[in-house]
């Protein structure tokens, strides 16, 4: 495949997928930026916060296999839209929780629609990439990061202005859903039917032996990415003594550099190849973690989060592309198997960080994430498309 060109922006289907990724990131980023507000409001200890984040992870993991079946039954376009319509209200529901137990249930529902939409929109993106015959998956992932960065920035602005999460989430969910629907609905109406027999795809798709290393790279990277979403603000608040508004800037810095790096992802992979790109990415993330863990103040910590964003940016798209070209499995099952590990890692990372922090410290938790980034450096040769 070629690197994406400006011409793809003229394609309505491409814009619809980009809008879906951006909406998914926007809603998730808005939630991530207000985690400290919920922590303070319910006086949550790290372990309890980890349990609540595990509820979100559990909802997504439960949704993954069913989303795969529904993608076959309804088509990825229709499933993406249906998830979007439920995902936005689910964000608002989180802010209405009166206690931590109801908050856990709301996060479980939020995780269900987040996970299902993730599977559906990646399937839609893969089909769009094949139809246009251009290497555009990194750009779709950039749209997710862009949306997440905007969501995090909206959280920083809302916190600095004194707005509670309820008001913030209603505004973000309403505007995001309306803007995305204006782009997604016309493309869905004009797109050909893609549904097939649901029985053609197994409920659970596990990676073949040749994809286990790819899945491990995806799992390790996505664990760190998920942890950045839910713990970057808390880390800055507790360790760097930042204000709530300043703390939200950590995830914003991380997401911004992910956007910029992913937009250039096709050109970077063309220049260095997937294996060397992954190796350099892992090394960059390691340097970023070192800066964050040993930061003497907020500016160095923010620079570290920015470097982590650069390091994580292209690894996941490379893993998906490698899975799609695996010689031992068809593209669909191969992508599904790696996606299960990848997004499972993204959503399991935050609660694991919480549990480690409860018995040690957040610095130790982030050191574990740094070791996982080093694992990408070691396993990078497996990403060659030989």
Split into its structural domains, the chain has a count of 1
Instruction: Tell me if 84 sits within 8 A of 20, measured CB to CB.
Output: yes
Q: Which domain holds residue 226?
A: 9-190+204-383
Q: Could you give the C-alpha distances from 41 to 32, 37, 92, in angstroms and in order? A: 15, 6, 16
pLDDT 10s digit of each residue in the chain, 386 long?
666 655 677 788 888 999 999 999 999 989 988 988 998 889 888 888 888 888 988 888 788 778 877 877 788 888 898 899 899 999 999 999 999 999 999 999 999 999 889 888 888 887 887 788 777 888 888 898 889 889 988 998 999 999 999 999 999 999 888 877 787 777 655 555 555 544 455 555 555 666 888 889 999 999 998 888 788 988 898 888 788 788 888 988 998 898 899 998 878 887 888 899 999 999 999 999 999 999 888 999 999 999 999 999 999 988 877 876 777 776 556 777 787 788 778 777 888 888 898 888 889 999 999 999 999 999 998 887 65
Q: Could you give the C-alpha distances from 74 to 71, 98, 322, in angstroms and in order? A: 6, 36, 27
Residue 199 lies in a domain: no
Residue 3 lies in a domain: no
Q: What is the percent of the chain where pLDDT is above 70?
A: 89
Q: Which of 286, 283, 274, 272 is nearest to 382 (CA)?
A: 274
Residue 160 lies in a domain: yes
Residue 195 lies in a domain: no
pLDDT in tens, 100-125: 999 999 999 999 999 889 888 888 88
Residue 197 lies in a domain: no
Domain harbouring 144, CATH code: 1.20.1250.20
The structure's pTM equals 0.79
Between CA 114 and CA 55 the distance in angstroms is 12
Residue 198 lies in a domain: no
Residue 270 lies in a domain: yes
Q: What's the confidence (pLDDT) of residue 199?
A: 46
pLDDT in tens, 125-157: 878 877 887 778 888 888 988 898 899 889 989
Give me the phi and psi of 95, to 5 degrees please.
-70, -15
């Amino acid at each position: 495949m070629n690197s994406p060109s400006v011409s793809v922006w003229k394609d309505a289907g491409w814009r619809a997928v980009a809008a879906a990724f951006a909406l998914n990131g926007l809603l998730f980023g808005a939630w991530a930026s207000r985690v400290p507000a919920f922590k303070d409001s319910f006086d949550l200890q790290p372990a309890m916060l980890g349990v609540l984040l595990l509820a979100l992870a559990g909802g997504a993991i439960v949704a993954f296999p069913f989303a795969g079946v529904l993608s076959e039954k309804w088509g990825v376009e229709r499933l993406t839209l249906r998830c979007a319509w439920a995902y936005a209200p689910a964000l608002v529901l989180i802010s209405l929780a009166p206690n931590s137990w109801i908050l856990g249930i709301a996060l479980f529902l939020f995780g269900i629609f987040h996970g299902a939409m993730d599977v559906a929109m990646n399937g839609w993106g893969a089909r769009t990439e094949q139809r246009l015959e251009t290497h555009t998956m990194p750009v779709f992932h950039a749209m997710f990061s862009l949306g997440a960065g905007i969501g995090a920035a909206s959280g920083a602005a809302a916190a600095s202005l004194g707005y509670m999460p309820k008001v913030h989430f209603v505004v973000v969910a309403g505007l995001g859903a309306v803007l995305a629907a204006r782009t997604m609905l016309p493309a869905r109406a004009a797109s050909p039917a893609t549904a097939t027999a649901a029985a053609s795809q197994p409920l659970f798709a596990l990676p073949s032996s040749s994809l286990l290393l790819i899945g491990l790279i995806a799992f390790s990277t996505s664990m760190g990415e998920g942890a950045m979403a839910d713990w970057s603000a808390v880390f800055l608040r507790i360790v760097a003594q930042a204000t709530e508004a300043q703390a939200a800037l950590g995830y914003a810095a991380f997401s911004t550099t992910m956007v910029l790096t992913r937009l250039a992802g096709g050109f970077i992979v063309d220049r260095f190849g997937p294996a060397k790109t992954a190796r350099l990415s892992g090394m960059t993330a390691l340097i970023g973690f070192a800066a964050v863990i040993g930061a003497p103040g907020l500016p160095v910590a923010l620079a570290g989060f920015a470097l982590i964003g650069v390091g994580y940016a292209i690894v996941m798209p490379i893993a998906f592309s490698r899975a799609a070209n695996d010689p031992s499995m068809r593209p669909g099952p191969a992508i599904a198997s790696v996606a299960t590990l990848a997004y499972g890692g993204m959503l399991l990372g935050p609660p694991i960080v919480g549990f480690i922090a409860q018995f040690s410290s957040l610095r130790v938790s982030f050191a574990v994430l740094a070791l996982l980034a080093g694992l990408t450096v070691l396993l990078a040769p497996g990403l060659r498309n030989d």
